[in-house]
Structure 1
Amino acid sequence: MTRTLTQSFCIGIAGFSLLLAGCMHASKSSTANAGNVDWGSYGLNLNGQRHSELTQINTGNVKQLASAWTVSTGVKATFQATPIVGNGVMYVSLPFNHVLALDAATGKQLWKYTHERKAGWSMCCGPANRGVAVSDGKVFIGTVDARLIALDARNGRKLWDIDVAGQPVDREQQDTLNGSDPNKTRKVTGGTGVGIAMAPVVYKHKVIIGITGVGYGLHIDNPRSDAPLGAVIGVTGRYGRPGFLAAFDVDTGHQVWQFDTIPVKGWEGHFATATADGSHFERDIATEKAALKDYPDAAIFGGGSAWSTPAIDTETDTLYFGTGNPSPQMNDVSRPGDNLYTVSLVALDTETGQYKWHYQQVPHDLWGYDLASPPVLFQYQQHGRNIPVVGQAGKTGWFYIHDRATGAFLAKSEAFVPQHNLFKKPNMDGVIVYPGILGGANWSPTSVDETRQKVFVAAMHSPIKYTVHETETGNGQQPMRYTASEPTEDARWGLLSAIDLHSGKIAWQQKTAQPLVGGVLSTAGGLLFCGEGNGQFNAYDSQTGQALWHYQSEYGVNAPPITYQVNGEQYIAVVSGGNSLFGFKQGDSIMVFKLSKH
């Protein structure tokens, strides 16, 4: 079994001293008896369920929830972090990879680590970071400049700092766009590059993390500050590199293993036109096979970012993670075949990184349907059997369920967002698709109430127009091709869904004014917490969907909430800093709530 926060170290708030007596072998039960219940990992536990057994705050008293403390961090930018809480200390990663340690009961700052990025390093995907991992007396963070850093949990002192990904990759050039394309002169906010967005996870003395931004495409800014990203553009060419997930020794940072998300051999797959879950794809297989001779090295530009923190099965030492789109994004001329293992759920051996199985949701992806939302492990009841499974909420708008041991597809939910032209190929006239590149479920983590067999999903409806363009290159050469995905003028909204795992049906659904991105928290107190881009932070009855409580923040609440207990008192926490990609107001708040005593 992995060591917990309490097994690894005990930290006393007073003077923030390391307590040696009586805490080196503290267990979960002793922590609970002392009145503390931690949020020890990105998904609460290694299963990634984000469902707390705390009941002090419940449907009967949630209306009494009030602010306990708020901290303004001073860094106003897209804020996506999940705070980690252990032994009364909260650890929060800020945009641009600064880290705070706070007294979890009062918000008092204990220490701050200020990150210095590499000179000249261009961020592929903005400044956001999704959290830290805490174990073995250390705080681990992956950075926007593709480093993995270990800090001393007592004082924030840097212990080691390693370069995870090597040199950055050149971004696609905007001057390849057609002269009549308005995106040619608009501001570029990101492109193909290398960084780390996910929160690490620690297991058996290894810290596990993956890189993002490989084959990301050009990000074109929207001239309206309150609007979503203007366009994502994939240009045909030799851009990108393979992504990977890797494990590092917690003491030294030495790499233990690395799994490349694009295999050197077999990346073309079997040219699938259908998947086991019933999805069918328009593909010109003959043309793709003929193109293999022209692009034999397509795999070295393959893409496949690792966006989401893995879930880990401690019984079998297996980890599960999702992969991103192939490179070039949305543009398949130079990448024939299925483009394995992109847009896939992948299972690996935690000790060696060896491949166990994969399930590709979208072969030869043309739409940006990354597996961005983290996988979650739970016991699934089907035909009278209790099956260990892995679930994942797709950008496609379905929740998928697989046998954990074999990867066999078992079921998927009914669609939790509207679907239209889901897998229709882009063309020069433009095709409107939804969910599309922004997804049904984007990176937002889900929550699973295993006892009640329900999964809760925060998602969005945001129609996208995909258009293929060609630019004359002269000298008798083939025209340069690129594909743009741009939001339409259609209405957008969010959908918060409770899905019955027995039937796959929507048990209840709440429509919100804006797309939902950030994630959810469910509790045994019968509550479901979720934030919105307009700054509302809401509590619902998890069984009925009835809205019970809300708090209005100045900034968008677009991060996953957590809950924890200190000295017998339960708290709810969430960071509030908006999201620039969706036009939600950016800020710098860490907000913590508890029951009012009045």
Structure 2
Amino acid sequence: MSLSHRGRRVPLLLAASALAALGTAGLAQNLASFSAQAEAGKLAYAKNCAACHGAEMQGQIATGLKGDEFLGKWGAGSATLDDLSVYIRENMPPGQGGILPDETYTNIIAYIMEQNGAKHDGPLSAGENLSEVTLPAPTVDSAVGGLSTRVHPLPPGPPIPNPLASYTPVTEALLSDPPADEWPAWRRSHLGHGYSPLGQIDTSNVGKLTVAWAQALPAGNNMNEPLVHNGVLYVFGYGDQVFAFDAASGRMLWRYQRKLAEGTPLTSHKTIALYGDNLYTATSDNKMIALNAQTGKLVWETSLTDRDGMRNPGGPLAADGVIMQGMASQAPGGGIITAFDAATGKRLWTFETVAKDGQPGGDTWNGEPSNERKGGSVWTSGSYDPVNKLALWGVGNTYDTAPLRDLKPGMNNDALYTESTLAFDPHTGKLVWYYQHNRNDQYDLDWVFDRVIGTLEVGGKTERVVLTGGKSGLFDALDAKTGKYLKTFDMGIQDYIDRIDPVTGDKHVKPELTPGRDKGPVFMCPHGGGGRNWSPTSWNPETKTFFVNARDVCTDLTPTSGAGLLSTGVRAVYAPPPNGDGNYGVLQAIDPQSGKVLWETRRRQTPDMGILTTAGGLLFTGWMDRQFVAYDQKTGKQLWSTGVTGVPNASAITYSIDGKQYVAMVTGVGNPLSFGIPDVIPETQLPPVTSSAVYVFALPDDE
């Protein structure tokens, strides 16, 4: 490993063992002097660094860290220690940078300084700026960078392109209608299509796809859909790290790593966002941060919420100068959607997705006290309609079904705003319209997924519509301006709704399928963990075709004396569908105009990845058997597949650099689908080793 510093290459390697091996050597808070700190660093060095750098820092597997050669690179008049400190913290142990406590890194740096004759007035502070700290000059002239140029000069290397040098701000127009070669937003644009107009890779040549480049990401949960702008691929990694890669070569351009308080549960996110000069992401400690997209440096951060028990697995929506983020919770109070000024991080508004007494919709909770209402989680990013200037968000259900199940006299038990589409003015948070797709859900069959903005023929006229579906496999079309119900189309995987009102879209549940501990067992389809779930759809605006994948599994709801999945007191277990053939993974093409399923293909393993479609007639998605697969959009025929090391549970993207088309995808568990449904597919295996990576595919150069 090496560090580039003022034109010099500085080899460094600090091998580190498990955190537990550090013992008290990593605790610097009570060290009263620089020498005491260096002594603590000596112990940490012996346990974690000596095997590579030598017991006396003389160099062994890795370079030495003291003496004339080291001082020739870092001594007085040569360089300060800032870059050395940053490099060690961000990159050591190799591949696990930042895993050690700040105090441990500081102690080791103090020991290296002390061994090279440096002095410091008092102990170093963790993360201290060392720009004014210098080491003694070397006693003899030493070779720069450890490279001899006495006989032959080092020939110049090839020029390394830096696409960040030509970065241009991400505008509202670009997010609404991106250039064909880019993927600057979740699902590519504000409209949520998951479709690209690129067609260099098509049905005739997709079989020749090969890996163009790949990069390991921090091992752990990852369900992030990358973004591409100006030839740079941005992706979120486990441990709240963000990476910028050259999208053509995979060369890392910058890396941001957030420092989190010990014990913070680490989370993954479906998406990040670009707007103006910044990249935006939610963090595991419930902050919204803005990073400079060219440098990765923190621009601002602000708290998403001070409520306990809140999560942010979706991701931000950036639109019209506003950054919006949905939050999920099963604690009393419910979920929220909150918004910030993109330039400053100033909070603009917060909307409670579980309506309280005195608020619009507050009288729809069957008399349940406001402080006991739960649910309304938001765990998918929103879409933005630039024509009607509305931000569109989906809201989940409530697991606390018991207070809502049986309508009390004179009450309303719709439970707003669960299972709804919400349309906001992004600047004020004013709720312009809402539509509740499924009232009083008693089955955990959310409608919290992507909102797709497209056009359909309605009454002989072309109308702008919002298309969205729930776990049931039912999809509603709404008027994008008003939220008026237009129609429903059905995947055919549900059996618990027997009638849909053609005017209002109200779904009528079969009364005999209402579950609870005071009722008998209920068998119905789909299971709350099955159906159309988590993974985004794709909409081809040219062919007006809708593509969706699902898990065709049913559920047996049996009474239980315990809490159960739902507070009505039922245990929900997976069950195969009636007359099933053992193939539980479903991929469909649907014509929303007619409501017909144009084709369906099935697979024994279930999907866990969103859908990408392209102008080349291709559809890409991934499955629990760790296969990334390309299909013919017209027929559903499989055309190409490749195995990957991790679970492909994010959504693939495609982009073009200098006329060459690439397809990229991320692996790593993190969404609920990535754990499969082993009860009905017992041979399902998760990867034996936790990993995460970004894979990028392209055609061979001679194609």
TM range (shorter): 0.7 to 0.9
In terms of mean alpha carbon deviation, does 67-76 or 47-56 score higher?
Answer: 67-76
Aligned residue for 1:161?
301
> What is the aligned counterpart of 2:396 among 316, 324, 349?
324
Report the CA distance between 1:17 and its aligned residue. Answer: 5.1
1:430–1:579 Cα change, 3 Å: farther
CA 1:416–1:520 in structure 2 vs 1: closer, same or farther (change >3 Å)? farther
**Is 1:596 aligned with 2:700?**
yes
CA distance in 1, matches of 2:638, 2:281: 35
Amino acid at match of 2:478: H
SS at match of 1:14: coil
Change (3 A) 1:354 1:489: same
Among 248, 258, 262, the residue aligned to 2:354: 262
Separation of aligned partners in 2, 1:356 and 1:400:
19
Deviation larger for 239-248 or 451-460: 239-248
Could you give the per-residue CA deviations for residues 13-72 of structure 1, whole angstroms, max 9, x where no partner exists? 83565448x98999869x999xx8110100211111111111111112111111111111
CA contact 2:170–2:275 (8 Å) conserved in 1: no
SS where residue 68 of structure 1 aligns?
A: strand
Q: Which of 531, 534, 559 pairs up with 1:440?
A: 531
Paired with 1:146 and 1:431, the residues of 2 have a C-alpha distance of 39
In structure 1, C-alpha distance between the alignment counterparts of 2:469 and 2:538, rounded to whole Å: 10
Gaps of 5+ in 1: 1-11, 169-192, 216-238, 272-287, 473-479
Give 1:99's match in structure 2, choosing from 218, 238, 242: 242
Rounded Cα–Cα distance in structure 1 between residues aligned with 2:270 and 2:476: 23
Query: Hey, what's the Cα distance between the residues in 1 that align with 2:480 and 2:377?
Result: 22
Structure-2 separation of matches of 1:334 and 1:142:
38
**Of residues 288, 312, 323 in structure 2, which corresponds to 1:207?**
323
The yes-or-no answer on 1:145 pairing with 2:317 is: no
The residue that corresponds to 1:393 in the other structure is 469
Report if aligned partners of 1:323, 1:341 keep a CA contact under 8 Å in 2.
yes
Contact 1:416 1:440 in 2 (8 A): no
Q: Deviations over 1:385-423 (max 9, x none)?
A: 100000002111112111112212111113243535794
Taking structure 1 as reference, are residues 64 and 164 closer, same or farther at Cα in structure 2, changes over 3 Å only? same
2:195 & 2:160 partners in 1: Cα distance?
Answer: 27
Shift of 1:500: 0.8
- List per-residue Cα deviations over 1:149-195 (Å, max 9, x = no partner): 11121222222222111131xxxxxxxxxxxxxxxxxxxxxxxx211
1:404 is aligned with what amino acid? A
Please, which of 38, 52, 70 is the counterpart of residue 182 of structure 2?
38
Report the Cα offset of residue 597 of structure 1. 2.9
Q: CA deviation at 1:330?
A: 6.7
Alignment-derived partner of residue 80 in structure 1: 223
Compute the RMSD of aligned alpha carbons. 3.0
Aligned residue type for 1:129: H
The answer (yes or no) to whether the contact 2:399–2:444 under 8 Å persists in 1 is no
Alignment partners' CA distance in 1, 2:160 and 2:492: 44
| Residue equivalent to 1:425 | 514
**Per-residue deviation, 1:117:** 3.3
Corresponding position of 2:571 = 484
**Any conservation in 1 of the 2:516–2:568 contact (CA below 8 Å)?**
no
Q: Matches of 2:246 and 2:590 in 1, distance apart?
A: 36
Which whole-Å CA distance do the structure 2 matches of 1:55 and 1:421 have between them? 40
Tell me, in whole angstroms, the C-alpha distance in 2 between the residues paired with 1:553 and 1:373.
26
What are the Cα deviations for residues 502-556 of structure 1, in whole angstroms up to 9, with x where unaligned? 2111001111222222210111111111111111111111011111111111222
| Structure 1 residues 149 and 135: alpha-carbon distance in aligned structure 2, compared to 1, 3 A threshold | same
Shift of 1:116: 3.1
Deviation at 1:427, TM superposition (A): 2.7
Counterpart-to-counterpart distance in 2, 1:334 and 1:158: 51
Give distance in 1, aligned partners of 2:492 and 2:619: 17
Structure with greater proportional strand content: 1
The structure with more helix, counted as a fraction of residues: 2
Is 1:407 aligned with 2:470? no
The answer on whether the counterparts of 2:218 and 2:238 sit within 8 Å (CA) in structure 1 is no
8 Å CA contact 2:536, 2:610 repeated in 1? yes
Question: Aligned partner of 1:531: which letter?
Answer: G
Deviates more, 1:111-120 or 1:96-105: 111-120
After TM superposition, the score normalised by the length of structure 1 is 0.78
RCO comparison, higher one (Cα < 8 Å, 6+): 1
The one-letter code matched in structure 2 to 1:437 is G
**Residue 493 to residue 262, structure 1, CA distance change in 2 (3 Å):** same
Q: Secondary structure at the match of 2:207?
A: helix
Cα shift readout 1:462-485 (whole Å, capped 9, x = no counterpart): 22233343369xxxxxxx964433
1:367 Cα deviation from its structure 2 partner = 1.2
Q: Is the 8 A contact 1:466 1:486 kept in 2?
A: yes
Q: Determine the structure 2 residue equivalent to 1:568.
A: 659
Between the aligned partners of 1:385 and 1:580, the Cα distance in structure 2 is: 39
Partner in structure 2 of residue 519 of structure 1: 610
After superposition, what is the alpha-carbon deviation per residue over 1:200-249, rounded to whole angstroms, capped at 9, x for unaligned? Answer: 1211211111101x12xxxxxxxxxxxxxxxxxxxxxxx42221112101
Contact 1:393 1:400 in 2 (8 A): yes
Counterpart for residue 296 of structure 1:
369
CA distance in 1, matches of 2:615, 2:212: 21
Indicate yes or no: 2:413 matched with 1:337: yes
Unaligned segments of structure 2, at least 5 residues: 1-158, 499-508, 677-685
2:650 partner SS:
coil
Query: Is the counterpart of residue 457 in structure 1 residue 552 in structure 2?
Result: no
